[in-house]
Amino acid sequence: MNHQNSDQITTETKHRSTGRLYGIGVGPGDPELLTLKAFRLLQAAPVVAYPVSDGGKSLSRSIVAGYLRPDQIEVPLWYPFKLEQSSQPYYDEAAEKLAAHLNAGQDVVVLCEGDPFFYGTFMYLYTRLCDRFPTEVVSGVSCVMANAAQLGTPLTYRNDVFMVIPAILPAAVLSQKLAVADAAIILKLGKHFAKVYALLQELGLAERARYIERATMPNQRIIPIHDVDPETVPYFALISIPSQWQP
């Protein structure tokens, strides 16, 4: 976009000596589902940051592992996901880690599963850093769409109303939301599968629903929903309720 107004010229001048912050979507799991832009920025960046889980693993890093160079500085960002009430200091700390690189004039790419602004944790860095450093967000393929390609089920047609619902919500709330949707994705299933499955049976939606784990990842699994073992459902599993419209 070409927005040459005076405010932006001032901002550019102010930031000229700092690095640029990029939040890049790395897509749902298949490394080939990175965009050309994300790939270019990733390859060019001196510093690559990514969230790591309590176990020290990083899903977003594993997606792009084949694209990283040995000379890139890697910055793992640890957020204690299980203690949400106290996570703000961890985001503050992560932001300051990145600010140190940006202030030193280094561009920083932050890896984001799926899309950076659609659920996820990049927003916590974005709100802390976007006023201090030139920042760009690169959209990615979301698992919300990628599951449809893997399942072979078109998701929405024409005037359908589409909804994305986190599985953690109580059954009564899920029921109220689903009542107004023509098509829906229920995501972040994990330990909530049994509750969601029972509700879909009650609502007469279980026959239409499709279950998929880790869409496009090497360990993707598609299982008939009635055969799913609720004890083994991972966080990155979702249920698709595709549109009923017949083309």
Assign residue 37 a region (left: φ > 0; alpha: ψ between -120 and 50; beta: otherwise): alpha
By beta-carbon proximity to its own copies, the closer residue of 56 and 85 is 85
**Cβ contacts of residue 171 below 8 Å, gap of 6+?**
195, 196, 198, 199
Q: Judged by CB under 8 A, does residue 205 bind its own copies?
A: no
* Contact pattern from residue 12 through residue 31 relative to its own copies, giving x for each residue in contact according to CB under 8 A and a dash for the rest: -------------x-xx-xx
CB of 37 to its own copies, least distance (A): 4
Q: Judged by CB under 8 A, does residue 131 bind its own copies?
A: no
* Binds its own copies by CB under 8 A, chosen from 34, 42, 63, 64: 34
Q: Judged by CB under 8 A, does residue 171 bind its own copies?
A: no
Which of 98, 119, 94 lies closest to 28 in space, CA to CA? 119
Rounded Cα distance between 84 and 185, Å, is: 24
By beta-carbon proximity to its own copies, the closer residue of 50 and 79 is 79
Q: Judged by CB under 8 A, does residue 55 bind its own copies?
A: no
Which of 198, 197, 187 lies closest to 165 in space, CA to CA? 187
Site for its own copies in 59-88 (CB under 8 A): none
User: What token pair was written down for 228?
Assistant: 């799913």
Continuous segment of H or E residues that includes residue 164: strand 162-166
* Binds its own copies by CB under 8 A, chosen from 19, 51, 116, 134: 116
User: What token pair was written down for 87?
Assistant: 């996570």
Block residue for tokens 């949400």: 84
| HSE (side-chain half, CA atoms, 13 Å) at 213 | 17
Size of the site for its own copies (CB under 8 A): 62
* Binds its own copies by CB under 8 A, chosen from 50, 60, 107, 126: 126
Binding site for its own copies (CB under 8 A): 1, 25, 27-28, 30-37, 39-40, 91, 115-119, 122-124, 126-127, 130, 136-142, 145-146, 148-150, 152-166, 168-169, 176-177, 180-181, 216, 220, 247
